[in-house]
């Protein structure tokens, strides 16, 4: 768990108490201050939850990547591609070039059209 989650929960609880005290005493400033502290705690708690989720997702992605690299399928595929490139280097070069060209075409924008002379 992230420390932001603990601090956010503490601020949230303190804000609720402060808001309740302001409600009981009829002090609008204390009540508003409590609501602000409560909202700040909620935001900090959500920030901590997001950090935990990102950390968990990155750990899972790292684990999946390590499993993929260690798997025999990846190793066999790499060896097959290496053999194919050694056997036919010109074909591999043409395939790589066409993939690069296709990616470049996908990443560029079409030129802007000139407006019609007649406006329609």
CA–CA distances in Å: residue 86 to residues 81, 89, 93: 9, 6, 11
Q: Are 2 and 53 in contact (CB under 8 A)?
A: no
Question: Which of the four pLDDT bands, split at 50, 70 and 90, describes residue 119?
Answer: low
Q: Are 5 and 49 in contact (CB under 8 A)?
A: yes
Helix axes 28-70, 72-87, angle to 10 degrees: 60
Cα angle value 18/22/26 (rounded, 5°): 175
pLDDT at residue 99, as a whole number: 95
Region 29-36: mean pLDDT is 87
User: Which position has the higher pLDDT, 109 or 11?
Assistant: 11
13: pLDDT strictly greater than 70: yes
Q: Per residue in 39-93, pLDDT tens?
A: 888 898 888 889 889 989 999 999 888 887 777 777 788 888 899 889 999 999 9
pLDDT at residue 11, as a whole number: 86
Residues in CB range of 98: below 8 A, 6 or more apart:
none
Mean pLDDT, the chain, whole residue set: 85
Region 2-11: mean pLDDT is 82
pLDDT at residue 86, as a whole number: 92
Helix axes 28-70, 3-25, angle to 10 degrees: 160
pLDDT at residue 76, as a whole number: 82
**Per-domain residue ranges for the chain?**
1-70, 72-109
- Phi/psi for 116 (5° steps) reads -65, 145
Length in residues, the chain: 120
What token pair was written down for 39?
A: 């909202």
pLDDT at residue 5, as a whole number: 81
């Amino acid at each position: 768990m992230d420390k932001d989650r603990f601090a956010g929960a503490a601020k949230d609880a303190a804000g609720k108490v402060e808001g309740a005290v302001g409600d009981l005493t009829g002090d609008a400033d204390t009540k508003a201050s409590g609501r602000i502290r409560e909202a700040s705690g909620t935001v900090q708690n959500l920030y901590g939850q997001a950090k935990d989720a990102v950390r968990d997702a990155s750990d899972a992605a790292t684990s999946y990547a390590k499993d993929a690299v260690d798997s025999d399928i990846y190793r066999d595929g790499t060896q097959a591609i290496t053999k194919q490139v050694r056997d036919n280097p010109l074909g591999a070069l043409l395939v790589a070039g066409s993939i690069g060209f296709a990616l470049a075409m996908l990443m560029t924008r079409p030129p802007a059209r000139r407006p019609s002379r007649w406006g329609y």
